[in-house]
Amino acid sequence: MPEVRILIAGGGTGGHIIPALAVARELVARHRAEVLFVGTARGLETRLVPEAGFPLRTIDVGPLNNVPLATRIHTLITLPQSFFDSKHILREFKPGAVLGVGGYASGPAMAMALYLKIPVMAFEPNAMPGLANRLVGKRVQAAAVNFPSALGWFHNAEVTGIPVRPEFFSFSAPAGSAPHLLVFGGSQGARIFNVHLPKIVRELLGAVPGLTILHQSGLRHFESTEVAYTLSGADPQRWQVRPFIEDMPAQFARADLVVARSGASTVAELAAAGKPAILVPFAAAADEHQRHNAEMMECAGAALMLLEKDLDIPGKLLDMLTRLFAAPERLTAIGHAARTQAHPDAAERIADRLAELATANVSQENIPPTGEGEAV
């Protein structure tokens, strides 16, 4: 018999699902917990959660923030049903506690858990909390955040960090003497990197002796990005474009410098690996959360930030890259500062707090069965 039941709500992207799965594994290993995921039919959870061996239930809910009016109206129309479905799942599963990890499904599930007086823990990986967490933050029983700046949005919050694969913590300094640059913008790539890096690659390789580059373009833009690199005239032996990098921990280990977006998971992996980075926040991210993440890292001396508009300034990115590669001691200092932002025990701490909440929940067995009790 499981010691506790935990429902994990949210998803959409790997940034939400991968940390949630790490917590789920710790719940099973440390507390013999039974874990149920609730997400949507459109997110990565439909693939990643079953592959990890956990059950998944889905609800129909969409975005409200930073979307066209028609999308917002559709979400508002379907919202009552998402609340009803969340309540049904909660009454059927009877969790001792609920963890909201962000993404569309987390809002209705957390709200209904609070309504049914089930303890709720919010997980917030960004420096600026998302809409769902801002709405329920002061009503939750606990919260796990990655940046101290997010603490004020929640009741009973602590800085736990973001669960990161153990491989990212086991790096030593790159073995080779020749410098290496890693460029990536998430699993789908980043069009802005695909456009701007080929424009400067020839001059960059000329200015930094021995430099090699690995660029993840995303599958959709792989061919056009590779063509752009080829047309640049840069030595093809010194650059490589891949649509997707499967062995990301290994590529982090090789890199002396990383150019990346500043999503929460990317920032956490850079910190775990102690890698210096130039972070370019995605300008269209909801609530400018990527910009807030990059600013926090820059304030800690753990990265440099460039805004998307800065890439349009001739020579700006090229100058920053050449200066950094000319100052290896500065790269080392930034990497050391990045490592101070890491939290190797994040998954264990979040799992333990959830188990505490569930164990203390004396009302767990008193949730009325489906069809009884108050109406939404």
Query: Within its chain, how far is the Cα of 232 from the centroid?
Result: 33
With respect to CATH, is domain 167-339 assigned 3.40.50.2000? yes
Question: 5-164+344-366: which CATH number, 3.30.230.10, 2.60.40.10, 3.40.50.2000, 3.90.1150.10?
Answer: 3.40.50.2000
Radius of gyration (Cα) for the chain, nearest Å?
Answer: 22
Question: Would you state the pLDDT for residue 375?
Answer: 40
Low-confidence ranges of the chain (pLDDT < 70): 1-2, 62-68, 70-72, 74-76, 172-176, 187-188, 362-376
Cα(257)–Cα(265) distance, integer angstroms: 17
Angle of helix 191-207 relative to helix 222-231, nearest 10 degrees? Answer: 30
For residue 202, the model assigns a pLDDT of: 98
| pTM for this entry | 0.84
> From CA 209, how far away is CA 203, in angstroms rounded?
11
Domain 5-164+344-366 and domain 167-339 have a common topology = yes
DSSP 128: S
Q: Where are the domains of the chain?
A: 5-164+344-366, 167-339
Q: What's the N-to-C CA distance of the chain in angstroms?
A: 32
The pLDDT of residue 367? 52
